[in-house]
Amino acid sequence: MPHAAFSPEWLNRFTDPYALLGVSVAADERRIIKRYRTVAKQVHPDALIEEMPAELRQFADQVLPKLVNPAYQRLKQEKGRNEVLALLRFKVRRLSRDGQISPTTKQGKTLLAIAEAEVDVFYEQAVDRLCDRQYASLTDFETYTQQLSELNLVYLRRKMGAPVIREKRTGLMATTSVPRSPASTVAPATDPPSGDKSSPGLAYAERHYGRAQEYLKGKNVQAAIQELKDALKIDPQNSRYHCLMGQAYLLNKLPGMAKVHLKQALRINPANAVALKYARQLKMATTETTPAQPNAVPVPANGRRSLFGGLFSKGPSR
């Protein structure tokens, strides 16, 4: 093993806890614990066979206490994950401002260039591939951890580069407390999930939706709104997503935006009980909301039309 390995200078090369563990920056507590156990089992000294080369044994002896365990300690709780993500986003902003986000790996270049709708799926799959051999040796650890770190920065650059991110004015981290209001209780929509969840894209949309629910339970409204925006990019005709977005905007004291999403939720699924509840609370004209029809017949001139006309009439009802 080179003398520089595990020196302070060498350790400072690995500052991304997500890359060190080999997990997505979108990973929740369950995924982080599962990955930590996998890595710990792989490099724990008790798990190594006697015939293991001395260099690999020394690597295992050092990497667990000096890198793996500290990374896990920073990510195992939501507060720590938020702090790490805030630092990573700050780094991305600084590198972007200086024009230094220029990936060197094939997967990093691909992630930077692919269509927005493919970003989440490609990123998650790339992380899964890279973490397979991450802890096989010191050389593999250095190579794959650096590639994961680059991939995380490119992914955050793509997510932060979307116009929806630019509305944030209050800092890197979303606020964790919101004054309670009559609409502060977040209720899950009761209409059935939309689409075929065997589709990778829709599965990732559901992950965004699930994380948004958790954020709202913790009153982290801005983070929830961002997750729902990501979900709606993948599945824009989903009544549950629009309904939860309406609730999030109510918590954020933006009733106008809440009405837009609640109206869309009811247009897609007029039977969405939660959306109906909040629509009544906001005194919305729910009687004018009609389900979207794939081949809608034009409304006669003397017929009643809703506020948005046929703007949202495309797509199957959910």
| Per-residue confidence (pLDDT) for residue 160, from 0 to 100 | 81
Domains belonging to the chain, first-starting first, are 8-167 (no CATH), 174-318 (1.25.40.10)
Instruction: Identify the band that residue 143 occupies on the pLDDT scale cut at 50, 70 and 90.
Output: very high
| Per-residue confidence (pLDDT) for residue 56, from 0 to 100 | 72
pLDDT score of 142 more than 50:
yes
Mean pLDDT of 185-203: 55
Q: What is the pLDDT of residues 61-115, one digit of tens each?
A: 888 899 999 999 999 999 999 999 999 999 999 988 887 788 999 999 999 999 8
Mean pLDDT of 19-46: 90
Please choose, from the candidates 257, 244, 252, 246, the residue with its C-alpha nearest in 3D space to the C-alpha of residue 219: 252
pLDDT score of 292 more than 80:
no
CA 152 to chain centre: 12
Q: Which is higher by pLDDT, 146 or 136?
A: 146
Residue matched to tokens 């979900």: 231
Percent of the chain with pLDDT over 70: 73
pLDDT score of 20 more than 50:
yes
Question: Which amino acid, 53?
Answer: P
Mean pLDDT of 212-232: 87
Inter-CA distances, 184 with 65, 187, 279, Å: 43, 9, 15
Mean pLDDT of 3-19: 85
Average pLDDT of every residue of the chain: 78
Cβ density class 196-212: b for 16+ within 10 Å, e for less: eeeeeebbbbbbbbebb
Strand extents, DSSP E, the chain: none
pLDDT score of 169 more than 50:
no
Confirm whether pTM is higher than 0.85. Answer: no
